[in-house]
Structure 1
Amino acid sequence: MTINAHFASPTLITLGDVDLEVFEAGRENRGNPIVLCHGWPEHAWSWRHQMPALAAAGYHVIVPNQRGYGNSSRPPAVEDYDIVHLTHDLAALLDHFGYDAATFAGHDWGANVVWSMALLHPGRVRRIINLALPYQLRTPVPWIEFMESVFGPDNYFVHFNRQPGVADAILDANTSRFLSNLFRKNVPAVPPEPGMMMINLATASAPSGDPVMSEEDLAVFISSFEPSGFTASINWYRNMDRNWRILADVDPIVRQPALMIYGTRDMIPPSETLAEFVPNVEVLSLDCGHWIQQEMPIETTRAMLDWLAVRQAA
Structure 2
Amino acid sequence: MFNPTDFPKPTLISVNGVELEVFEAGRENEGKPIVLCHGWPEHAFSWRHQMAALAAAGYHVIVPNQRGYSNSSRPTEVTDYDIEHLSGDLIALLDHYGYEDATFVGHDWGAFVVWGLTLLHPNRVNKVINLSLPYQERGEKPWIEFMEEILGGDFYFVHFNRQPGVADAVFEDNTYRFLRNLYRKNEPLRAPEPGMALINLARAETPLGEPVMSESELAVYVSAFETSGFTGSINWYRNLDRNWRLLAKVNPIIQQPTLMIYGDRDVVAKSENLTKFVPNVEVVNLDCGHWIQEEKPEETNQAILRWLEQQNAI
| Aligned counterparts of 1:301 and 1:150: Cα–Cα separation in 2 | 36
| Aligned counterparts of 1:4 and 1:282: Cα–Cα separation in 2 | 33
Q: Report the equivalent of 2:111.
A: 111
| Aligned counterparts of 2:269 and 2:68: Cα–Cα separation in 1 | 27
Q: Residues 51-62 of structure 1 correspond to what in structure 2 (within 5 A)? A: 51-62=51-62
2:6 is paired with a residue whose SS is coil
| Alignment of 1:283 onto 2:283 | yes
Q: Deviations over 1:221-257 (max 9, x none)?
A: 0000012210000000000000000011111000000
Q: Deviations over 1:259-302 (max 9, x none)?
A: 00000000111100100000000001000000000000000011
Letter in 2 for 1:219: A
Q: Deviations over 1:161-195 (max 9, x none)?
A: 00000000000100000000000000112222111
| Aligned counterparts of 1:265 and 1:193: Cα–Cα separation in 2 | 20
Q: Residues 220-239 of structure 1 correspond to what in structure 2 (within 5 A)? A: 220-239=220-239
Letter in 1 for 2:154: D
**Does the C-alpha gap of structure 1 residues 7 and 280 become closer, same or farther in structure 2, counting only changes over 3 Å?**
same
Letter in 1 for 2:163: Q
Q: Residues 31-42 of structure 1 correspond to what in structure 2 (within 5 A)? A: 31-42=31-42
Q: Residues 118-133 of structure 1 correspond to what in structure 2 (within 5 A)? A: 118-133=118-133
| Aligned counterparts of 1:238 and 1:99: Cα–Cα separation in 2 | 31
| Aligned counterparts of 1:193 and 1:291: Cα–Cα separation in 2 | 23
| Aligned counterparts of 2:197 and 2:310: Cα–Cα separation in 1 | 40
| Aligned counterparts of 1:67 and 1:183: Cα–Cα separation in 2 | 22
Q: Greater CA deviation, 103-112 or 182-191? A: 182-191
Runs of 4+ in 1 over 4 A off after TM superposition: none
Q: Report the equivalent of 2:259.
A: 259
Q: Deviations over 1:104-125 (max 9, x none)?
A: 0000000000001110000000
Letter in 2 for 1:105: V
Q: Residues 173-192 of structure 1 correspond to what in structure 2 (within 5 A)? A: 173-192=173-192
| Aligned counterparts of 1:242 and 1:4: Cα–Cα separation in 2 | 37
Fraction of identical pairs, as percent: 68
Aligned-residue Cα RMSD (Å) equals: 0.8
Letter in 2 for 1:224: A
Q: Report the equivalent of 2:9.
A: 9
Letter in 2 for 1:54: L
Shift of 1:4: 3.4
TM-score (normalised: structure 2): 0.98
Q: Report the equivalent of 1:137.
A: 137
| Aligned counterparts of 1:201 and 1:136: Cα–Cα separation in 2 | 26
Q: Residues 42-191 of structure 1 correspond to what in structure 2 (within 5 A)? A: 42-191=42-191
Q: Greater CA deviation, 42-51 or 12-21? A: 12-21
Shift of 1:16: 3.4
2:72 is paired with a residue whose SS is coil
Shift of 1:5: 3.6
| Alignment of 1:296 onto 2:296 | yes
Q: Deviations over 1:18-46 (max 9, x none)?
A: 00000000000000000000000000000
Is there any run of 5+ residues in structure 1 with no aligned partner, and where?
none
| Aligned counterparts of 1:268 and 1:42: Cα–Cα separation in 2 | 16
Shift of 1:95: 0.1
Shift of 1:8: 1.3
| Aligned counterparts of 2:23 and 2:229: Cα–Cα separation in 1 | 22
Q: Report the equivalent of 1:198.
A: 198
Is there any run of 5+ residues in structure 2 with no aligned partner, and where?
none
| Aligned counterparts of 2:173 and 2:30: Cα–Cα separation in 1 | 43
Shift of 1:71: 0.5
TM-score (normalised: structure 1): 0.98
| Aligned counterparts of 2:189 and 2:44: Cα–Cα separation in 1 | 29
Q: Report the equivalent of 2:312.
A: 312
Letter in 2 for 1:306: R
Letter in 2 for 1:11: T
